[in-house]
Structure 1
Amino acid sequence: MALISAQADASGGKGLKHPKSTLDGTETVCPLGTFICPPRPDNFALCRPNAMLEFYDPSLPQNTDLRPTAKTYVQAEHVDSSNQTVYHLSGRVKMDRADQQVQADRIDYNDETTDYDARGDVRYQEAGELLSADHMQGNTNANRGIADGNLRFQMLLSHGNGTADQAHMLDAQHSRYHRVAYSTCDIGHHLWEIRAKKLTINKETGRGVARDATMRLGHVPFLYLPYMSFPVDNRRMSGFLYPTFSHTTRGGYTFSIPYYLNLAPNYDATLEPRLYSLRGPMLAGQARYLFPGTSGQLDFEYLAKDRFDDTTLSPTATDTLGRDRWLMKYTDSTALWPGWSFGTSINRASDRNYLRDFGSDLYTISTGTLASNAYINGSGNWWSASFGADYYQNVDPSLPDSVVQYKRWPRATFNLDIPLNRWLEAGLSSEAVAFRKQDVVEGDRLDLYPFIGADFQGAAWFVRPKVAWRYTAYQLSNGYQNYGFYGPLAAGQASPFTDRTPSRSLPIASLDSGLIFERDTSLFGSNYTQTLEPRLYYLYAPYRDQSNLPLFDTTLMSFDYWQLFSPSQYSGADRQMNANNLTAAVTTRLLDESGVERLSLSFGQIRYFTPQKVPLTGTTATDFAGSDYVVELGSQLSDDWRLNGSYQWNPHSRQTDMGTVELQRRIGLDGVLNFSYRFRRSLLEQYDASVVYPVSDRWRLLGHWTYSVMDKRTVEAMAGIQYESCCVKLSLLGRHYVNGYDGLVPTTTTANPGTNNAIMFELEFKGMGAFNGQTETYLRRGILGYQ
């Protein structure tokens, strides 16, 4: 299964004498709330205590280069030196030289030639390896030796161990074993092992090479190779990675086996042949590079002549039968000269159905747009600038291409932030963009936003006044009179664009102020510092009629707590809200004795002294006296519990507009329970729960469930089980999820229920390489806190 592997997460021997959860003896628990936890190294804590470590001497040097100049020290209960050249040693004999140590019942040592012959309970140690045998002879100066008789060996830089008929120490960096059995399982309890006629270990490259090798699971051989290579420490190396088996409704049974190419220390590649039973063979891969001043990564997938007709699942689907399918993702970051760099991200697919057909998780299949960009960026102490372009591709098969954003072709920005003194600053935010898109109004836009602001503050107060001016000008393309905001005009419909060069200019003033009070308090027997932080934010912007301005990249932002202190409710420069508003908010926090924030509770609302008169389109005004009341809660009073929540209540409609609850509990060191509820009126209501439950040290149960109340259906469900022993990890998952999901409701038809089923299986032989395949990637993305 793992023929030739890439990496092995291993470290030195200090964790081997007293095994813990990782080889270096450290715990790697992911903090609560972490979006995606880092993978953990192989855990050998489940292995039995290694009996060979009873003669391990941690005080010996680990540098083999010391051998040529090192002296040989000998200890024994009896010494016969009558020969004057050959010393006959007996009784607890020990010979030390640099990183080498030999212990035996009897040793004959030639002081002139440095030949030795050890017999009876021979125990040998050198940098990175232990060995025991009945008999061993060799030469210390030449770093050669031969051992045989009940031979066992243990690698100290990994958990690799085995037995052999004979071992040859060729020099300080190379050894060879004949008729050998190798595994990372417990000594004498090999769940899996490699049996070979000859095994050569090269410590310089960190590689083991087996000839005429058979891999066995239990006592059953399942793979024969005349040549097999694998790692014996934590260095990268070329070779096959762990295969992945899965099944999906849209792809059928899938098998993939990646091959890793360790081309150089600063660049590598991975080729991953895949076979889809319904669609045919695919070649996927990844290439990475890191040079002075530049780094990048290329990911690609290519399937020639798709064998499957998507219209069998849905009459409205695009027919991909016989078409070449592909996906390409490329990122690069290059330093050009001091203060300037070039960055690019190119993401393209062959067709709109690609992510739905080949995606393996809800995040991928719900992606509606692939964004590509390339920019030159510069910055200094008080300025920043960029020049480049953005391009977008529609990859949602349920939506027309007209929903895709405008191409920003090109786009330039220039920003200033100049400190005039310790409390006064002046600056500028500016942007120039050319917007391009078929069958809609096109044009260029210049947005200038100069400002001057001050920051007065003390230990318990702050006052931050700011005055700005916003000027936005357009140059619309020819034929602008033929379009509305979102496309061509219907017959008899008038265009909202009455001027080819419209503009908008207005001042914006704000005053942000707050106080900070604190006191000592206690809760549940713990001492805290409690703060009370009232805050007032006044915003003024006069009304300007903007009904004749196009909508290139502007939308209404979702309202949340931070919108209480924002100068605009719109993203983009096409709309600037009018304002004569006062935000009143208050926050209280609990800080523990080490200064860690354990609880934060905020409440606030905006009061409108004048109506809101700037909608996205038209001139409709809102006469609400105030915004939603907003409550934000964040709490982690215990290291094992975390609770976050938000709530918005609309005083105009007297209804709840939005509410979320997120609860997370740690279960032991590697278990976690998550629950969340999300509600947005008329748009979304979902429950989400996930769990990693450790049944024992070896078994874990996995689950994930997302349910949409509005659709009365399960959006995604997953159940799985994981088994981990000393040297094997196994994952088996069953999944049911919707496809064509746009983030609010699943896309369904009578013929296509919009669902997909998948079974994913992954088997890893620990110590033979650290590769996280599809299963591991899906779990880390799908379950908050999974490791």
Structure 2
Amino acid sequence: MPKLPPRRLLAVAAALALISGQADAKGGHSHPKTSLDGAEQACPLGSFHCAPRPYNYAMCRPNALLEFYDPSLGKDPSLRETSPTQVHAQHVDSSNQSVYHLSGDVKLQRADQQLQADTIDYNDSTTDYDARGNVRYQEAGQLLAGTHMRGNTDASRGIADDVRYQMLDSRGNGVARQGQMLDALHTRYSAATYSTCDVGHHLWEFRAKSITIDKDTGVGVARNATMRLGNVPFLYLPYFTFPTDDRRKSGFLYPTIGNTSRSGFEISTPYYLNLAPNYDATLDPRIYSDRGAMLAGEFRYLIPGSNGQLNLEYVPHDHGDNDGLANTKGDSRYLVNFSDRTALWQGWQFVGSYNHASDSSYLYDYGNALSHAAVYTLASNAAIMGGGKWWNASFGGTIYQNTNPFVNANGLPYKQLPYANFSMNLPLSRWLEFGMDTSAAAFRKAGFVEGQREDIYPYLAADFGTSAWFVRPKVAYRYTAYQLSGGYQDYGYGGLLGSGGVTPFDQKSPSRALPVVSLDSGLVFDRSTSLFGDNYTQTLEPRLYYLYVPYRNQDNLPLFDTNLMSFDYWQLFSTNQFSGADRQMDANNLTAALTTRLLDDSGVERVSASIGQIHYFSPQKVLGTDWTGSAYVAQLDVQLSDRWRLNSSYQWSPNTRLTDMAALELQRRLGTDGILNFSYRYRRGLLEQYSASAVYPISERWRLVGSWTYSVVDRETIDALAGVEYDSCCVSLRLVDRNYVNQSYYGFGPAPTGSNINRRDNAIMFEVVFKGLGSSGGQIDPLLRRDILGYQ
């Protein structure tokens, strides 16, 4: 708070900064638009990540201010030093040259400050003051009322009796038997209350023997405090801290209370440590009724050139059932997650992560609860990475840990110890570029063939065209070589013969070399059209893509990191349907595709429809098919308004005359904070599922949330979630229950046997948010964001 000039009558107002350090208010809005007016922006349809809903104070009473609030008062505290003081009083007694006696509706006003009282005595020599009778004080950031105030302006000290206060920016308000300003930055209240609810309508509050406000740090401290819902006490806190502004602070976060099938009831009481501006920590002791105590923690740091995070979970003695899996009863168990990114020199950095669990059942028991998807592999990586304008490179290693208790480690990916990658994209002219993708790795996996692999993939690409047409030829050469480790014959890599049965392959050092030639071309036509009374630009975009890759027998090449990818629309224009470098498909193909779009007057794509097929001029030997054409692939995306969206895709095979894949996704906006999703997914021989999810606003205060996924193949609901959200002026409540098949684990192997086995798991969680104080842990929000597209 700026120091007021001495010997000014309005200087008595300095003592009225008894309200938790809000005197330095910036601007004069009693409800800042950032979080208090409820005007959040709806998440765009189709967004996978939506911004969190800000605290909505729109349900608070619009005039929930202390009765003497004057909206016409100035809002800029910086004008105090240069503004004159206006004094209004019915009677002024200045018989004593040092002491002024003002009485009768006294009002002193300067800039954003205003002090009112029945009588005020002010000593011009000592700057002592005494205000009595219906004392009211207002400034840009606060309101305060009392029966009697006295103090000294120069020393920034003061005492007020029977205080009522209100913070205009953070909504904090309450009453106190007495308030004492220790100096300009520190205030202490005695027998005080605090809440962010409407004045006089406290749904919750805490009552404390004393409350100390530190304006310098933005932290309030309550001692011997009782948290109350209405008039019912439910939590006693001998020492409690809370924020008075947006700065970080140390203190207890609100507890989490929940229940899961695997671990029983859970109680979590995290404590946040604001250690320094560039690093902090959170200690999170937990109790699981079926398993025992856990100590979890998080440490984050940000130092010059480096940032990272360490998460730990430690269970000293697990007394839970093992369900017939690896016997962990009585063992200590843990989980470590560490990540770091450190700058080394210009253009180069170190990136690393270490993730490890004590046993393969840990995440099954502790991690796959309400808000966590099943994780059956933990990867750890360390690499040095660099890049420039036209190149990037990396060198490092990756290892994996199995965290699926129902299978062994055979299903893990190969370790890469070490690996190196180098890519470049060098423009040679306006229309020609030279590029290269190169990788080398040593693959390690016990019980499987091991070895090194080098993959070199240089290319020369051109780009001709205008906005109406394009032609993009590309010539590439791919060379892949292996050096297998000793004992490779034990895995079927010995004694194979080449074509004609006379030429033996080199089984220890096999290789593959072949050219890859492609020509991509297309046209773009457009015209003006109208639909439902709106004007659009319609495009028609035919496209031809030719690909030639000669056949090479690759039976002698191991499969280190390669899999056949799912066929989709973008595979129509891909040079390889395999991920990884161990397999390269042969091709003599021509893709024909057609796309049409509707663009509105601002250029936003409202409708997009595409269809295409690959015609094979020769059989695909690597893929093992002799079809003359691929499946027809079609896509349709429609969003004619901001209220609904439709995405769909379909694949039909003329060879089998069967549907290979179908997907439909419909999304509808309900009001400003509601959403409805429906989807259907089908892939022949693999899955057929229906899914629905919704956020349905019942009223301004109540919302229902839910999601449901049904498997036609399994003939059962595999995931169901139902919950309710309540929002009021100063508190939000959420209750969510999830019941699901643990399919991500059971799908990898035979279901385990044991007396406590159930393919269905259940988790329930209750969360309370006291607006302006914090929440009960935030475990529900990640789950709803994952399961309900567009959730805010």
Question: What is the TM-score with the length of structure 1 in the denominator?
Answer: 0.91
State which drifts further: 99-108 or 730-739: 99-108
State how far apart, in whole Å, the 2-side matches of 1:473 and 1:187 are: 76
Report the Cα offset of residue 294 of structure 1.
1.1
Question: Is the Cα contact below 8 Å between 1:740 and 1:747 reproduced in 2?
Answer: no
CA distance in 1, matches of 2:369, 2:291: 19
> 2:773 is matched with which residue: 762, 768, 776?
768
Alpha-carbon distance in structure 2 between the residues aligned to 1:94 and 1:141: 21
Match of 1:47 in 2: 60
Per-residue deviation, 1:136: 2.6
Tell me which moved more, 568-577 or 582-591. Answer: 582-591
Cα contact 1:71–1:97 (8 A) shared by 2: yes
| Distance verdict in 2 for CA 1:740–1:94, change over 3 Å | same
Is 98-107 or 343-352 further displaced after alignment? Answer: 98-107
Match of 2:453 in 1: 445
Q: How far does residue 373 in structure 1 lie from its aligned partner after superposition? A: 1.0
Asked if the contact 2:240–2:251 (Cα under 8 Å) also holds between the matched residues in 1, the reply is: no
* Per-residue deviation, residues 12-42 of structure 1 (Å, max 9, x unmatched): 7768535768227652322222213232232
Asked if residue 113 in structure 1 is aligned to residue 113 in structure 2, the reply is no
The 3-state SS of whatever aligns with 1:55 is coil
Task: State how far apart, in whole Å, the 2-side matches of 1:137 and 1:536 are.
Answer: 87
Distance 1:436 1:360, change over 3 A: closer
Aligned to 1:61: 76
Are the aligned partners of 1:242 and 1:773 in contact in 2 as well (CA < 8 Å)?
A: no
The corresponding residue for 1:7 is: none
Question: What is the SS of the residue equivalent to 2:410?
Answer: helix
Look up the equivalent residue of 1:369 and give its one-letter code: T
Partner of 1:133: 146
Letter in 2 for 1:61: D
Paired with 1:684 and 1:641, the residues of 2 have a C-alpha distance of 27
Q: Do 1:56 and 1:130's aligned partners in 2 also have CA atoms closer than 8 Å?
A: no
**What SS does the corresponding residue of 2:744 show, helix, strand or coil?**
coil
Q: What's the secondary structure of 2:165's corresponding residue?
A: strand
- Aligned-residue offset at 1:346: 1.9
Given that 1:183 and 1:190 are in contact with CA atoms closer than 8 Å, whether structure 2 keeps it comes out as yes
Whether contact under 8 Å (2:278, 2:303) holds in the other structure is: yes
Inter-CA distance 175–779: structure 2 relative to 1 (3 Å threshold)? same
Which moves more between the two structures, 294-303 or 565-574? 294-303
In 2, Cα distance between equivalents of 1:77 and 1:737: 72
Deviation at 1:93, TM superposition (A): 3.7
Q: 1:364 to 1:88 in 2, by over 3 A?
A: closer
Q: Judge conservation of contact 1:361–1:778 (CA < 8 Å) in 2.
A: no
Contact 2:767 2:777 in 1 (8 A): no
| Equivalenced residues, count | 755
* Structure 2 unaligned blocks of 5 or more: 1-23, 495-503
Distance 2:639 2:26 in 1: 37
Preserved contact between residue 370 and residue 765 of structure 2 (Cα < 8 Å): no
What residue number does 1:520 align with? 528
SS of match in other structure, 2:66: helix
State the partner residue of 1:693: 696
- Partner Cα separation in structure 1 for residue 191 and residue 584 of structure 2: 79
2:499 equivalent in structure 1: none
| 1:500-532 alpha-carbon deviations (Å, 9 max, x no partner) | 111111111111111111122222222222221
Q: How far does residue 559 in structure 1 lie from its aligned partner after superposition?
A: 0.8
Please state how far the C-alpha of 1:263 moved relative to its aligned partner. Answer: 0.8
Give the aligned partner of residue 489 of structure 1.
none
Does structure 1 residue 545 correspond to structure 2 residue 553? yes
Q: Superposition pairs for residues 705-784 of structure 1, below 5 Å?
A: 705-742=708-745, 748=751, 752-769=757-774, 772-784=777-789
User: Do the aligned partners of 1:254 and 1:277 also contact (CA within 8 Å) in 2?
Assistant: yes
Structure 1 residues 745, 340: closer, same or farther in 2, change over 3 A? closer
Deviates more, 1:46-55 or 1:711-720: 46-55
Shift of 1:564: 0.8
Q: In structure 1, what is the equivalent of residue 613 of structure 2?
A: 605
Contact 2:480 2:513 in 1 (8 A): yes
User: Residue 52 of structure 1: CA displacement?
Assistant: 2.2
Residue among 307, 310, 322 paired with 1:310: 322
Residue 290 (structure 1) aligns with: 302
One-letter amino acid of the structure 2 residue matched with residue 693 of structure 1:
Y
Correspondences of 1:608-687 after superposition (within 5 Å): 608-615=616-623, 621-687=624-690
| Among candidates 73, 78, 85, match of residue 73 of structure 1 | 85
What does the per-residue CA deviation read over 1:20-79, in whole Å, with 9 as the maximum and x for residues that have no partner?
68227652322222213232232222222322273256634345xx87x55661231545
Give 2:388's aligned residue. 380
140, 157, 170: which one aligns with 2:169? 157
CA distance in 2, matches of 1:695, 1:26: 19
2:6 aligned residue: none
Does structure 2 retain, via aligned residues, the 8 Å contact 1:330–1:346? yes
| 722-731 vs 502-511, greater mean Cα deviation | 722-731
Structure 1 CA distance, aligned partners of 2:376 and 2:741? Answer: 14
Instruction: Choose 130-139 or 681-690, whichever is displaced more.
Output: 130-139
1:62-461 mapped onto 2 (5 Å cutoff)? 62=77, 73-78=85-90, 80=92, 82-83=94-95, 84-90=97-103, 93-97=106-110, 100-126=113-139, 128-149=141-162, 151-311=163-323, 315=324, 317-361=325-369, 364-461=372-469
- Note if contact 1:678-1:687 (Cα within 8 Å) is conserved in structure 2: yes
Query: Cα deviation per residue 1:672-731 (whole Å; 9 max; x = unaligned)?
Result: 111111111110111111111111111111111111110111111111111122122211
Residues 584 and 105 from structure 1, CA distance in 2 versus in 1: closer, same or farther, beyond 3 angstroms? farther
Q: Is the 8 A contact 1:408 1:433 kept in 2?
A: yes
Q: Which residue of 1 aligns with 2:479?
A: 471
Secondary structure in structure 2 of the residue aligned to 1:780: helix
Conservation of the 8 A alpha-carbon contact between 1:355 and 1:365: no
Report the secondary structure of 2:774's partner residue. Answer: coil
Find the aligned partners of 1:223 and 1:600 in 2 and give their Cα distance. Answer: 57
Q: CA RMSD in A?
A: 2.4
Residue 491 of structure 1 corresponds to none
CA distance in structure 1 between the partners assigned to 2:516 and 2:319 by the alignment: 60
Deviations 1:195-233 (A, max 9, x none): 122211111111111222222222122233332211111
Q: Structure 1 residue 146: deviation in Å?
A: 2.5
> 1:334 Cα shift?
1.0
Q: Which ranges of structure 1 fall in alignment gaps of 5 or more residues?
A: 1-10, 487-495, 616-620
1:100 deviates by 3.9
Equivalent residue for 2:10?
none
Checking the alignment, whether the CA contact within 8 Å between 1:480 and 1:497 is kept in structure 2 is no
Report what 1:562 is aligned to.
Answer: 570
| 1:639 maps to amino acid | D
Alpha-carbon distance in 2 for matches of 1:481, 1:759:
53
Distance in 2, Cα, partners of 1:438 & 1:729? 52
* 8 Å Cα contact 2:372/2:783 also seen in 1: no
- 1:35 pairs with 30, 48, 61, which one? 48
In 2, Cα distance between the equivalents of 1:108 and 1:786?
A: 58
Structure 2 contact 406–749 (Cα < 8 Å) conserved? no
Write the distance in 2 (CA, Å) between the matches of 1:17 and 1:363: 36
Per-residue deviation, 1:749: 5.5
Read off the aligned partner of 1:276 and give its amino acid letter: Y
Structure 2: how far apart are the matches of 1:727 and 1:107? 37
CA contact (8 A) 1:166 1:177 kept: yes
The more displaced of 39-48 and 266-275 is 39-48
Q: How far apart in 1 are the matches of 2:171 and 2:658?
A: 61
Which amino acid letter does the alignment assign opposite residue 344 of structure 1? G
**Offset, 1:320:** 1.9
Cα distance in structure 2, aligned partners of 1:743 and 1:640 = 39
Give 1:385 deviation, angstroms.
0.7
